[in-house]
Structure 1
Amino acid sequence: RWIERYKAALPAHLPETARLPADDLTMVASGVMDALLFAGGLSVPTVLSFALTVPYSKWGEEELPKDFCLCDVSTLPGYLWEIIRRFAPVTAVVVQDRSHGTAPDQREYLNLQMAQRDPAAWGPDSGAFVPRRVSEYHRLSVGFAEPALAPGLADGHARACPARDLALAMSLAFMREFVRTVESDATPSRDMHR
């Protein structure tokens, strides 16, 4: 079913696919789906699965802000960042401090999902689903284990993760297109959310 939707949508975005034989178009559509699924490891499908299901879940009905509407494209960046904060694509990192034989090695388990809800960083509403300014997520997020790759690791505020930017760009582009497509297909009896 999804392959057929991709095949129908591809010519609008890649006009050269309109001239392809049906079997070739199926292969291109399958490749695009695979790219969306596997690019950025599991980050993209994880973010998209939560972004698309939370509004329709019992938890989402209870926890999302009452005025939230998935159809408002302007709120998508903050919404996706909040999805990442609440449902971090990287859940944990194990750090091993090697002593090189002078003492037993020390292993620490860094729970990033818990850090993403730390009230010392995110404030008293850290347990609530509250879309924030994107700059706040850039400053505080550890959802992609950004500090582990930062060039200046001694700086506690260092943030760098090339996959993060790719995953966010792909997720945001997908969600914008999803909202646009669903809005154009929506009828009063088939609304996307609220």
Structure 2
Amino acid sequence: MVRILVVDDHVVVRSGLIALLDGKHNINVIGDAADGDEAITKALELKPDVVLMDFSMPPGKDGLTATIELKKLLPDTEVLILTMHDDDEYLFRAIQAGASGYILKSAPHEELITAIQSVSQGNAYLYANATKRLMSEYLDKLKQDDHPGPYETLSEREKEILSWVAKGYSNKEIAEQLVISVKTVESHKSNLMEKLNLKTRPELVKFAMKKGLLNYE
């Protein structure tokens, strides 16, 4: 029996998931939570096999932060992200945080059940389109490894700022961390984006992910 904890800020969604899953397909819902803080508390108390985790849960602690903390506290508990965000940036952040799976709320019920069973057995689970995108990213990385790209042209400061930007820090916050002016941060950011031929922040996050520059420790 797979013991799961359901985490979502919407009561109706939690109730629906519990009704769908509990006692069926070798799944036992042992608890539920409305935000990340409650999820951590409940997980420490109940020791679930799988936490079915929503990504965004305002105004409480979000699923990404909760996942990072849970994997440190309960490394044997698997986290399956259930979200409406069909977006590479969210996907890569979830994987980096330690989630074992990522599935959309729009997925058929059968796929959700398959995902829960898969991660409970120690496997990774991504919905079909995400898998295709990751494979594409992997193949691109192999090509880049064979042919060193523009990353090597960045200065050490530009690489540093790239990492901070990818982690979600604002120009002002980066300036405070590095003890430089906001204008200097903006200049470095503009230069590195041009060197890497990146146009948007999601593109920058994916690039940083491939280079192993994201670190949530």
Q: Could you state the TM-score of these two structures normalised by the residue count of structure 2? A: 0.25
The structure where strand makes up a greater share of residues is 2
Which structure has the larger Rg? 1
Structure of higher RCO (CA pairs closer than 8 Å, 6+ residues apart): 1
Q: Could you state the TM-score of these two structures normalised by the residue count of structure 1? A: 0.27
